[in-house]
A and B are shown apart, each in its own frame.
Chain A
């Protein structure tokens, strides 16, 4: 199964990025072979609609599930329309989140967080 994880960096040891639309990048991981590659997030510098663009990116890459911090209402519409499931991956590293995901320990998210929630409303990441 191909999973997209929002990540602070291009390696599995990186911190999971709690932002979906403004995530630094996405790691696309094959959960069977553990092979992965990173794709830049086109939404990171978007003036608006970052979540929509990020969602299109992961759908285009063929992800069947997304592991991230929080997904806003617009991005959720896109992911739902594409049949991509969303899982809450905070506060782990990408690697830890993936392990928990494979064991079925991550919570599926079905309702959106408020807009700009993952970016802490502009108050910066801690």
Chain B
């Protein structure tokens, strides 16, 4: 079972929820898909077994073969190649690795070579994985896809997703069994929750809401969820103590025993929701 933890707005508590869930539910796998700034390792403190380089194919020109016809630059949708005065220039950082340029080249002058965009680190027990995108790389998706390809098949997997609702998030959440939307009772939290919910609806993914930093009332978020018919699975209250625990890089479940129960209960509710979902749509 694959569970995505996402939020729309950054800083609502994705990592707090995902790391504590993964630590409370044993055995499980935690995968940090927020590859632009992975931080789950601060809390889970895994011993790493190996680090793997992840590359993307980009074109390389064999000067002698190129006749400067310009077909490659013409077919590129991302302006990663320029053909000028019978010369071809390549801008690898703009390449989206579609391979069209080398396909259309009549002289076979464009070879695909690997360009490293980041690394994947794997924990000793395979219960932890994270991706780390190189600074300045614009596209996180190849790294996210590679992490998802390596996910354990049995047992629950928790995806700590990137913030926002753009390509990286779409690739992170697709093909997962359930999405947990972490929000906070602020106008920004509510605004971005609405975007995340729209994404869920568009992708047809089952989801529930967790309110973090709750004030006990959470009027706006409650009203929004009521209107949308979205289920609120749990609430974590606003608390200085939680913030302090988090800022020390510690898990909530290592402190008061209630938190272990809280996250185990949360997982129970998620399992129940996934069960309902499978019942409703057996073809999924």
Cβ proximity bits A41-62 to B, threshold 8 Å, 1 near / 0 not: 0010011111011011001100
A47 CB contacts on chain B under 8 angstroms: 77-78
B73 CB contacts on chain A under 8 angstroms: 56
A50 to B87, Cβ gap below 8 A?
A: no
Task: Judge if B84 is at the interface, Cβ distance under 8 Å.
Answer: yes
Instruction: Tell me the number of A-to-B contacts counted with CB atoms below 8 Å.
Output: 45
A56 to B87, Cβ gap below 8 A?
A: no
Task: Judge if A119 is at the interface, Cβ distance under 8 Å.
Answer: no
Task: Judge if A81 is at the interface, Cβ distance under 8 Å.
Answer: yes
A81 to B79, Cβ gap below 8 A?
A: no
A46 to B79, Cβ gap below 8 A?
A: yes
Select from chain B the residue with minimum beta-carbon distance to A73: B91
In the bound complex, CA of A50 to CA of B79 (Å): 7
Which residues, 28 to 83 on B, are CB-close (under 8 Å) to A? 73, 77-80, 82-83
Which residues, 68 to 126 on B, are CB-close (under 8 Å) to A? 73, 77-80, 82-85, 87, 89, 91, 94
Contact-residue size bin, chain A (C-beta under 8 Å from the other chain): 10 to 19
In the bound complex, CA of A55 to CA of B85 (Å): 12
Task: Judge if A78 is at the interface, Cβ distance under 8 Å.
Answer: yes
A48 to B94, Cβ gap below 8 A?
A: yes
B78 to A48, Cβ gap below 8 A?
A: yes
A55 CB contacts on chain B under 8 angstroms: 82, 84
A82 to B85, Cβ gap below 8 A?
A: yes
A78 to B82, Cβ gap below 8 A?
A: yes
Known contacts A48-B78, A53-B79, A56-B83, A78 near B89 by CB under 8 Å: yes
In the bound complex, CA of A29 to CA of B137 (Å): 39
Known contacts A56-B84, A59-B84, A78-B84, A48 near B79 by CB under 8 Å: yes
Contacts A49-B79, A52-B89, A53-B79 supplied; 20 other A-B pairs, CB < 8 Å: A43-B79, A46-B79, A47-B77, A48-B79, A49-B80, A49-B94, A50-B79, A52-B82, A52-B94, A55-B84, A56-B73, A56-B82, A59-B85, A74-B91, A74-B94, A78-B82, A78-B89, A81-B84, A81-B87, A82-B84
